[in-house]
Amino acid sequence: MSYLERIRRPADLRQLSPAELDVLAKEVRDFLVTAVARTGGHMGPNLGVVELTIALHRVFDSPRDRVVFDTGHQAYVHKLLTGRQDFGDLRHRGGLSGYPSRAESDHDIVENSHASTALSWADGIAKANQLRGLGDRSVVAVIGDGALTGGMAWEALNNIADGQDRSVVIVVNDNGRSYAPTIGGLARHLDALRTTPHYEKVLDWGKRTLQRSGPPGRMAFEALHGMKKGLKDVIAPQGLFEGLGIKYVGPIDGHDIGEVEMALRRAKAFGGPVIVHAITQKGRGYTPAETDVVDRFHAVGVIHPETGLPVAPSRFGWTSVFAEEIVEIGRRRSDVVALTAAMLAPVGLAPFAEEFPDRVFDVGIAEQHAVTSAAGMAFAGLHPVVALYATFLNRGYDQLLMDVALHRAGVTFVLDRSGLTGDDGASHNGMWDMALLRTVPGLRLAAPRDEPTLRAALRDAVAVEDGPTVVRYPKGAVPDALPAVGRQGSVDVLARHGGVPRVLVVGVGVMAHTAVEVGVALDAQGIGSTVVDPRWVLPVSEDLVSLAGQHDLVVVVEDGLASAGIGSALRDALAAAGADVPVRCHGIPLRFLEHASRAQLVEEFHLRGPDIARETAAAVAALAPERQDPAVRLRPTGR
């Protein structure tokens, strides 16, 4: 039995010797490479925190002591050490979540994977412990240097520093990266702490001295640490943290279990807020990840573990189309600039940055700042394009509303991974965007269905200078082009079935392909239909309202919230126009979704073409008597 197989709870770690712990760390890395290569998931972040997580669970008594992981994608090692070693269905329905999950274990606390929140959670838990007379319990927040670029983290630090009698240990996992190299003033500060030349030389000399004298005992290690601290006080600019009133320990080697453990014990004994600064290497121990310069191993699909190459190369995706088109736009317009929040490559801005390095701004994990900074750029004569994952625009909603829309700023938002992303679970589905953006006055939103409509939407969006525009698309491969068979005003007509169309089927974005399937299935049942794609879905166009009024029933298919999305917006527009036409909305239910594949979720929510056609046929059969005669048409009575 391997050492890893013997670990069923964190207390088991305390029975292992230093040599055995080193073997365990290697076993954990081997397990992660093999398991994640088979299922896909976050590989690089977890390979980088093996020793750090082992030391955490040797020093702190989880779940009595609370350990909070920021973003949570580096919690695989934590899962292994808390009794969860079946990774066979990781991130698949019925298997382990790719993030901490309260349903899985009492050791897990924060389930959402939106960055920069762990310190606020830790502050709240520590305050509650104090008020409940549980002051002997520690709270540990593990946060990366990338997540420290988020404004929420600094709001939390300001409050944590005010609680000098509350035990909050902040472990900064400093690998110099988030998705990409960490940027900004904080990154420069940490870099100065990390790379002070003389400090590193003395540290290396001290380690070699102790190694020659045998395993370092506690007194020897404390002597070395005191030497480090004295030197650090002279030459290392750690004052930013201690100036806030938070004790600083480090930097330490995050891959030396003994050193991390000793630092954590000192931090725990201090009894107040402490930052432990650990230097780690993302992808540690896996050669393809260690040598990768573009961070392909932050998150991977199914790969060959020996080489790191994908088992099935991905098809040309939505992100790639955006990456090509935004470069073309940039060549034509020198006023177009791009912003992103620590995700330059994942959202497709790397080619733009390569060709126009002075026109790209990566603001770190700071979506709120990105949005308002874009408003300032628009005011000063530029046209900013803010590229984010759809789920992360949630964090910048207030700034979009009050700083961009209120000021009629010409800013374009490009939302990758909209709708159902599936495997990453509740916090990553981009299902909220259209429901939220419906409430923003003057905002125009496009949902392209294929490559040509995406390219056209981007060109149209950056031409708008009197308010915000949004272009949203899903994760994954681009479907085959779906050409229109006609136009009615601004609306693309994709298909017409039957002599007298009774049902208007509206497909939103990629769901236009499903809408076409619905039309075919209805035709097979003798029900005439018109299938359309509005392309620009917000605000609801008068052309779509007029077309809807010429049918007995409207069916809207979308990959956003059914209860507050485009279908309900069309229903409201019809009511305002005096058109009494029933609207059936097919979309995502208003609830947080368990992790599963997109196809599984589509099936669960009855969003496949045959499912919708079956429900639509039943709805046609149940229409009021005056609508049963196909010759009868209720038209809008005016606006």
- Distance of CA 422 to CAs 14, 238, 365, Å? 37, 41, 22
The answer to whether the peptide bond before residue 63 is cis (omega within 30 degrees of 0) is yes
135 and 279 both lie in a single domain: yes
512-524 helix and 609-621 helix, angle to the nearest 10 degrees: 50
Q: Domain total for the chain?
A: 3
pLDDT of residue 235: 40
What are the respective helix, strand and coil percentages of the chain, to the nearest 5? Answer: 45, 15, 40
Residue 167 shares a structural domain with residue 192: yes
Assigned domain for 223 exists: no
Distance CA 214, CA 410 (A): 66
Neighbour tally for 458: CB within 10 Å: 23
Cα(132)–Cα(106) distance, integer angstroms: 20
Q: 577 lies in which domain range?
A: 487-628
Give residue 288's Cα distance to chain centre.
Answer: 24
- What is the pTM for the complete model shown? 0.84
Compute how many other C-beta atoms are within 10 angstroms of the C-beta atom of residue 401.
18
Residues 502, 630: Cα–Cα separation, whole Å: 7
Residues 449 and 576 in one domain: no
Rounded-to-integer distance, Cα 620 and Cα 235, Å: 78
String of DSSP letters for 163-221 = -TTS-EEEEEEE-SBSSSB--SHHHHHHHHHHH-HHHHHHHHHHHHHHHHTSS--HHHH
73 carries a ligand binding annotation: yes
44 assigned to some structural domain = no
Q: How many CB atoms lie within 10 A of CB 542?
A: 14
Report whether 436 contacts 500 (CB < 8 A): no
Same domain, 453 and 515: no
Closest CA to 280 of 202, 345, 190, 363: 190
Say whether both 111 and 248 belong to one domain: yes
Which residue, 472, 505, 523, sits at the end of a domain?
472
Is 145 marked within a binding site? Answer: yes
- Determine if residue 105 is labeled as part of a ligand binding site: no
Q: Is residue 213 part of a domain?
A: no
In this prediction, residue 168 carries a pLDDT of: 93
Whether 228 sits among the annotated catalytic residues: the reply is no
Burial bucket for residue 230 (CB in 10 Å: 0-12, 13-18, 19+): exposed
Query: How high is the mean pLDDT in each 10-residue block of the chain (639 residues)?
Result: 90 93 93 87 86 95 94 88 88 86 90 85 92 91 85 88 88 72 54 50 52 50 48 47 77 91 92 90 78 68 73 77 97 97 91 96 91 96 96 94 96 95 82 95 97 98 98 93 96 93 96 97 95 97 96 96 95 94 95 88 94 95 68 40
Residues 58, 191 within the same domain: yes
pLDDT value at residue 632: 46
- Do both 378 and 441 map to the same domain? yes
Instruction: Report if residue 135 sits inside a domain.
Output: yes
Q: Is 532 left (phi over 0), alpha (psi -120 to 50) or beta?
A: beta
Instruction: For residues 514 and 435, state if they share a domain.
Output: no
Domain end (from 443, 472, 501): 472
Examine the domain organization and report whether 495 and 423 are in the same domain: no
**pLDDT value of position 400:** 97
Q: Is residue 385 part of a domain?
A: yes
159 labelled binding-site residue: no
Which residues, including other chains, have CB under 8 Å from residue 437's CB and lie 6 or more apart? 400, 443, 445, 470, 538
Please identify which of the residues 51, 325, 367, 451 carries the catalytic annotation. Answer: 367
Q: How many Å apart are CA 519 and CA 497, to the nearest integer? A: 7
Task: Tell me, yes or no, whether 366 lies in a domain.
Answer: yes
CATH number, position 350 = 3.40.50.970
Token pair listed for 10:
């964190």
| Integer Cα distance of 140 and 338 in angstroms | 36
Q: In sequence order, what are the beta bridge partners of 162?
A: none
Domain membership flag for residue 41:
no
Residue-level pLDDT at 192: 56
Are residue 557 and residue 533 in the same domain, yes or no?
Answer: yes
On whether 113 is known to bind a ligand per the annotation, the reply is yes
Is 320 marked as binding a ligand?
A: no
Q: Tokens 């540290």 map to which residue?
A: 203
Residue 52 buriedness (CB in 10 A; 0-12 / 13-18 / 19+) = buried
Q: C-alpha 374: how far from its chain's center?
A: 21
Is residue 378 within 8 A of residue 350, CB to CB? The reply is no
Q: Are residues 409 and 377 in the same domain?
A: yes
Dihedral class, residue 517 (left if φ above 0, else alpha if ψ from -120 to 50, else beta): alpha
Q: Which of 91, 282, 475, 571 is catalytic?
A: 282
Which whole-number Å values give the CA distances from 419 to 73, 416, 448, 560, 574, in the listed order? 21, 9, 13, 6, 25
Q: Domain with 494 in it: what CATH number?
A: 3.40.50.920
> Can you tell me which residue has the tokens 């991977």?
300
Q: Which residues pair with 168 in a beta bridge?
A: 139
Establish whether 367 is a catalytic residue.
yes
Residue 385 sits in the same domain as residue 273: no
3-state SS assignment for residue 49: coil
Catalytic hit among 66, 194, 296, 395:
395
Catalytic site includes residue 194: no
| Beta carbons within 10 angstroms of residue 257's beta carbon | 23
Q: Does 123 map to a domain?
A: yes
Q: 220: which 2 tokens?
A: 């020897």
Helices (H) and strands (E) in the chain — how many of each?
26, 18
